[in-house]
Structure 1
Amino acid sequence: MKVKNLKTRIAAFGLAVLMGVSTLSSANAFAAEQTDVGQEVQASEQAVTSQKEKAVTADDITKEISDETFAVETSMEGIHYDAEKEDVTLISIQDENGGEYHPDKAGTYIASYMVVPKDQSDSYTINRKVILTDTEGQAHAQDNGGEKQKSDTKSEDDSDSPVQNYTDVEIEASGEDASAQAIEELKEDIEEGNVMVLSAAERATSSGSTVTLTKGRTIYYPSYLGNYLTCLFTVNGKIAYCLQSQKASPPSGSYVAQVLDSNKNLQKVLYYGYGGAGDLTGSYLSGKSEDEKYVYTHIAASYAYAGEAGFTGCNYNDLVNAGVIAYINYLFGQEEPPKGELSLSSTKLNAVRDGNLQKTPNITLSGDHRNYVTLSVPENVTAHNLTKGTSVTNGKIQIYGGDTIYLSADLLLTGSYASGNLYGSVGKTWRTLVLTTGDSKQDIGVFESETAAPVSFSVQWLNMTRIELTKKDINTQNPLSGAVYGIYTDKKCENLLMTMTATGTDGKAVSDYFDAALKTVYVKEVTAPTGYKRNQEVYQVDVAAGKTLTVTATDERVTGKVKIAKIDKETFAFQPQGDGTLRGAVYGLYAKEDIVHPDGTTGVLYKQDSLIAQGVIGDDGTLEFSELYLGEMYVKEITPPEGYTLDTTRYEVSVTYEGQDVAEVTRDLTVKEQVKKQAFQLIKISEDGEQTETDLCFLHYFDTMHHFLLSASFR
């Protein structure tokens, strides 16, 4: 940049901000104590006085170079400020001789910070010492320089202001009225430390790459800002800005560009300013011409990089009145430009069981909170965003930088899942490039981008399986509830893997999940349903991962038997009296109450008091009723044997379940029979036909077969 006209009255001040500096201090303010340098110098003195009254202060700090947790670019230790009232940003750090900062080299460095009040009052800088020590390295040296270090520290602490070391200064002046005497006086003031001048703020810390700088047409400042000009620069075709208004513009050519990450305000200006990827000038500078937007952004970039020297050629009040200062504060107040870099806390995940599901460990997507990836969630899988409190099954879910997620699935899901390349929505990584064009020429800044690499992850699901068992009645084929089966790892069923739950009303039971690596398991009944005997059959199951294996088993009901023995009521044995007989009696078996089928589905088989079965007493005096359904019953004689009376007794019998190991419940029943009897009288008659003993009466009993049974006499 070149001045078109420079008045003699501001020679000292103008030359100070227009000089070309090879290596100068990192201070971000300028001041003079002379009383005859004009209105601008007086204003500068007031600014210095105002700075001393500012609330933000910075303490000197001492750190070990081996301290990996310390990063001067981000450390706010010892800086006293209110985050709600000010933004504080490191703008430069140099050693005491103006050399580069080396975080791995012990020494004393001067760090300068830009303080931007959020109430839109003037920004200012603060300085402090960052002392790096190498205690470990010193322990191995005979002369560790301790005394010298102690002496140096004491000397610096005793001074009223930080020690500033300057190299030779080369001054360029333009303007017809600039006198040699004024230039010489200014040089003396600088060498004596009366004036602090800001040069190139901070240097890039990474290795450089060659880029092409193109110097375009001249752009004049609007008249309401002053008589100054700049040029339209591009770097590799992208809009760029000169960063040091006090220096001459560089020519077109190839230059080495270096990445500057620590100057956040410069990043914001180049990203949100005119021509940047996040250009906000369309709304904020609405009504301004393209050249005005360029000039405004140029001044903002110069100020972010070189401090108040960036206002060269302009009156501060004019900048305020034109809205330039407000525009700068607006840009500085924006969020940092979005970053495209993304990374995952883990990329190879092994699912683990969690109840009846399998889930991955939590993974976090690190990156800018505005940057997100879209994950396609496969069928039967659910993605859970713990940070956002959302979940998606068989669909798409957005994961933002800082979000933590996990995947879950049914335990029968097997195999693996690969997310594929997940590209961030930002897509690019933005970086500030600074072109150093020579000590006497301006540095050039541009916001360059490179495609951000995608992220990806994979999941290995479990290899699980389970068994579903269906239990039925062997005859009715109706489902049976209450059956319990065990799963064993050996054919003898001695090594129990697990016990299944009891079958439900649908006759089904599903086992817990188990590892499919077992290959073969064996299933055997442990507990039969009530009313059934236990099935001793062993079912071999060939295991397959990711499937529910099925087994169908049947049970037979427990049966009942009633055995009837017939005896004479008087002889108490199977011994009939006279011509009577005990065989041939007909008996019926009746339901004392409703008899129901044990399968729980078929229902009532015999209503109360209905005949279940009937039979005839055999030659051995017995009768059996078998294959009975269990229940409460009674036996009653239907037809008596010859020579005996009908027995009307109801012989109750309870044929109830005695457990799964009793296949047939047997009940014994003895029934008694009464022989038939008839009374008669004996009269004694003489031979002549006369009754000879009338006072003697005999009562005799015969059975129905005319056999004499009993004789008695009465007087």
Structure 2
Amino acid sequence: MKNKLSKLYKIFLAVGMVFSMCFNTLGMSVVNAYDPSVPKEFTRVKNIKYPEWWGRKIPSIASWSTYSCKYDGKWAFCLEAEKKTPASGKYPAQVIENNENVRKLLYYGFGGPAAYGEFAADADLKTAICPDDPLTNDDIKYLLTHIFLSGAYSGQWKGFDENLFNQTFGSNYGTNIMNIYRRIISLPDPGNGVSWEGNKSGNRALFKASYDKTNKQQVTNTVKLNGASSAEVNIPLASNVTIHIAGTSATQTGGTAKVYGGQSFYFTAPCQNSPSNFVSDNICGNGCERFTALAIHDGGAGTQAQGTWNMDPDDARLYLNIE
């Protein structure tokens, strides 16, 4: 936080600027480690028939089934139930934009990074849906996640109708199933990773201290951490540096401070025995990865899009400088 950068830091800064200008001149750009346009392995795992007693009570869905599938090692789900499942092979994917419900279902549903409620690993969904059916608990979780995703993505519910299921099976059976869907879509959006808002250079927040005459100390500018409230960064503090969460009374001096998505913060330090300029390593903690919902297409008009997801740890990189 000294007023002047060290000579060595100036040299590194100048070299960095030269490289930056060279890269811009050459038209080069940073490429993320995960590129959805690169074809990846899509595999049919097994055919899952709808519960036998659904078909017995509602003959029109007796022959309905779906394939459980995987894409690049993760579960993939039919998004268009009225079309055919693609054959196993290598296919590209596209990012699903502007469909919050699909993002939530992939994130909190079966096989997602934060499987929630009835879809959690230790949850028993089979007993509530079809206790006497030969389908496994995971089969039921996969099947319902597929039905919900198809409804949210394309409006194709593939035979499931809340009112019809209530009338046919009684005891609000259809509503109880749809309430699982409603609980999922009421959860927070998974978020798009983390970023800085304020004085920054790329993914590095830039704090510069000035003299606070009123309090006779050094104080920096304020920067905001954009991201889901569950995202956190871990900031190491010198023993005489204090972090302040803007708009609150929360402070911490020394140690390692946590800042969460949506919070703005700044630093103060004494003028005497002022700490040295600080250049951090990556400070990202839990929840910083960018969650991406993906739609897989084989290019055929009669085959369904499949939905899956990716969280690339290479996206979870944030740094900060204090001078």
CA 1:426–1:242: 2 relative to 1, 3 Å? same
Deviation string 1:8-49 (CA, Å, 9 cap, x unpaired) is xxxxxxxxxxxxxxxxxxxxxxxxxxxxxxxxxxxxxxxxxx
Residues 194 and 261, structure 2, Cα contact 8 Å, conserved in 1: no
1:404-443 map, 5 Å: 404-412=264-272, 413=274, 415-437=276-298, 438-443=300-305
CA drift at 1:453: 3.0
Determine whether 1:250 maps to 2:108. no
Deviation string 1:106-141 (CA, Å, 9 cap, x unpaired) is xxxxxxxxxxxxxxxxxxxxxxxxxxxxxxxxxxxx
How far apart, CA to CA, are the structure 1 residues paired with 2:255 and 2:276? 19
How far apart, CA to CA, are the structure 1 residues paired with 2:123 and 2:275? 58
Identify the residue that residue 230 of structure 2 maps to in structure 1.
Answer: 370
Identify the residue that residue 290 of structure 1 maps to in structure 2.
Answer: 138
How many residues are paired up? 253
Unaligned runs of 5+ in 1: 1-205, 461-715
**Percent of residue pairs bearing the same amino acid type:** 27
Say which of 381, 390, 394 aligns to 2:241. Answer: 381
Deviation string 1:131-180 (CA, Å, 9 cap, x unpaired) is xxxxxxxxxxxxxxxxxxxxxxxxxxxxxxxxxxxxxxxxxxxxxxxxxx
Identify the residue that residue 43 of structure 2 maps to in structure 1.
Answer: 214
Determine whether 1:453 maps to 2:316. yes
Deviation string 1:588-627 (CA, Å, 9 cap, x unpaired) is xxxxxxxxxxxxxxxxxxxxxxxxxxxxxxxxxxxxxxxx
CA drift at 1:386: 1.7
How far apart, CA to CA, are the structure 1 residues paired with 2:120 and 2:53? 21
Residues 382 and 393, structure 1, Cα contact 8 Å, conserved in 2: yes
- Higher percent of residues as strand: 1
3-state SS of paired residue (1:379): strand
How far apart, CA to CA, are the structure 1 residues paired with 2:251 and 2:160? 56
Larger radius of gyration: 1
How far apart, CA to CA, are the structure 1 residues paired with 2:179 and 2:141? 14
Unaligned runs of 5+ in 2: 1-34, 56-61, 127-136, 167-171, 200-204
CA drift at 1:229: 0.7
TM-score (norm 1): 0.34
Q: After the TM superposition, list the runs of 4 or more consecutive aligned residues in structure 1 that deviate by more than 6 angstroms.
A: none
Identify the residue that residue 158 of structure 2 maps to in structure 1.
Answer: 312
Letter in 2 for 1:312: K
How far apart, CA to CA, are the structure 1 residues paired with 2:46 and 2:147? 17
Determine whether 1:333 maps to 2:186. yes
Residues 284 and 317, structure 2, Cα contact 8 Å, conserved in 1: yes
Deviation string 1:551-574 (CA, Å, 9 cap, x unpaired) is xxxxxxxxxxxxxxxxxxxxxxxx
Determine whether 1:351 maps to 2:209. yes
CA 1:287–1:368: 2 relative to 1, 3 Å? closer
Higher RCO (CA 8 Å, separation ≥ 6 residues)? 2
CA drift at 1:244: 0.8
- Higher percent of residues as helix: 2
How far apart, CA to CA, are the structure 2 residues paired with 1:352 and 1:315? 63
CA drift at 1:285: 5.6
Deviation string 1:314-370 (CA, Å, 9 cap, x unpaired) is 454227624332222122111111443332422232211113101111111122221
CA 1:453–1:284: 2 relative to 1, 3 Å? closer
CA 1:414–1:272: 2 relative to 1, 3 Å? closer
TM-score (norm 2): 0.73
Letter in 2 for 1:454: R
CA RMSD of aligned residues (A): 2.1
3-state SS of paired residue (2:105): helix
Residues 342 and 424, structure 1, Cα contact 8 Å, conserved in 2: no
How far apart, CA to CA, are the structure 2 residues paired with 1:411 and 1:224? 76
Residues 268 and 332, structure 1, Cα contact 8 Å, conserved in 2: yes
CA 1:409–1:306: 2 relative to 1, 3 Å? same
Determine whether 1:342 maps to 2:195. yes
How far apart, CA to CA, are the structure 2 residues paired with 1:282 and 1:349? 42
How far apart, CA to CA, are the structure 1 residues paired with 2:106 and 2:306? 11
Deviation string 1:35-87 (CA, Å, 9 cap, x unpaired) is xxxxxxxxxxxxxxxxxxxxxxxxxxxxxxxxxxxxxxxxxxxxxxxxxxxxx
Deviation string 1:397-418 (CA, Å, 9 cap, x unpaired) is 1111121111111112154122
Deviation string 1:427-461 (CA, Å, 9 cap, x unpaired) is 4211111012221011100011111232112122x
